[in-house]
Amino acid sequence: MRSNISSLGAKEIREIALSLDLIPSKGLGQNFVHDANTCEKIVRLADVNDSDRIVEIGPGLGSLTLALLRAGARVTAVEIDKRLASRLPETLSDHGATPESFEVIAKDAMQLLNSEVPEGSLLVANLPYNVSVPVILHILSMNKISRAVVMVQSEVATRLAASPGSKDYGVPSAKVAWFAEAKIADRVSAKVFWPIPRVDSSLLTLHAHQPLGTETERELTFKVIDASFNQRRKMLRSSLESLIAEHLPNQSCAEVLEASGIKPTERAESIDIEGFLAIAKTLQGR
Ligand code: SAM
Distance separating alpha carbons of residues 163 and 7, to the nearest angstrom = 37
- Compute how many other C-beta atoms are within 10 angstroms of the C-beta atom of residue 137: 18
236 and 192 fall within a common domain: no
- Angle CA(190)–CA(106)–CA(110) in degrees, nearest 5? 70
227 and 203 fall within a common domain: no
Overall residue count recorded for the chain in this entry: 286
User: Is 4 domain-assigned?
Assistant: no
52 and 76 fall within a common domain: yes
**Domain boundary at 164, 181, 208, which?**
208
Name which residue sits closest to atom 10 of ligand 1, judged by CA: 128
List the chain pLDDT tens, one digit each, 286 residues. 787 999 999 999 999 999 999 999 999 999 999 999 999 999 999 999 999 999 999 999 999 999 999 999 999 999 999 999 999 999 999 999 999 999 999 999 999 999 999 999 999 999 999 999 999 999 999 999 999 999 999 999 999 999 999 999 999 999 999 999 999 999 999 999 999 999 999 999 999 999 899 999 999 999 999 999 998 889 999 999 999 999 999 999 999 999 999 999 999 999 999 999 999 999 998 6
Residue 230 domain boundaries: 215-283
103 and 204 fall within a common domain: yes
Considering only CA atoms, give the Rg of the chain: 21
Instruction: Give distance in angstroms: CA of 128 to centre of ligand 1.
Output: 5
139 and 221 fall within a common domain: no
**pLDDT, position 211:** 85
48 and 178 fall within a common domain: yes
User: Is 249 domain-assigned?
Assistant: yes
Give the CATH number of the domain where residue 53 resides. Answer: 3.40.50.150
Q: Are 75 and 54 in contact (CB under 8 A)?
A: yes
User: Is 2 domain-assigned?
Assistant: no
Instruction: Give distance in angstroms: CA of 157 to centre of ligand 1.
Output: 17
Give the CATH number of the domain where residue 247 resides. Answer: 1.10.8.100
The string of DSSP codes covering 183-249 is EEEEEE-GGGEESPPSS-EEEEEEEE---SS-HHHHHHHHHHHHHHHHTTTSBHHHHTHHHHHHH-T
- Continuous segment of H or E residues that includes residue 145: strand 145-153
Q: Are 101 and 125 in contact (CB under 8 A)?
A: no
Q: How many domains does the chain have?
A: 2
Distance separating alpha carbons of residues 57 and 19, to the nearest angstrom = 23
Distance separating alpha carbons of residues 221 and 57, to the nearest angstrom = 27
Instruction: Give distance in angstroms: CA of 279 to centre of ligand 1.
Output: 37
**Domain boundary at 208, 229, 248, which?**
208
49 and 143 fall within a common domain: yes
18: three-class secondary structure by DSSP: helix
DSSP-assigned letter for residue 20: T
152 and 242 fall within a common domain: no
232 and 177 fall within a common domain: no
**Domain boundary at 208, 237, 265, which?**
208
Give the binding-site residues of ligand 1, using a 6 Å CB cut-off: 28-33, 57-61, 63-64, 78-81, 84, 108-110, 126, 128, 131
**pLDDT, position 220:** 98
User: Is 1 domain-assigned?
Assistant: no
User: Is 219 domain-assigned?
Assistant: yes
109 and 130 fall within a common domain: yes
90 and 178 fall within a common domain: yes
User: Is 182 domain-assigned?
Assistant: yes
Q: Are 253 and 240 in contact (CB under 8 A)?
A: yes
User: Is 38 domain-assigned?
Assistant: yes
201 and 263 fall within a common domain: no
User: Is 82 domain-assigned?
Assistant: yes
Q: Of all atoms in ligand 1, which is nearest to the CA of residue 58?
A: 12
Distance separating alpha carbons of residues 165 and 127, to the nearest angstrom = 27
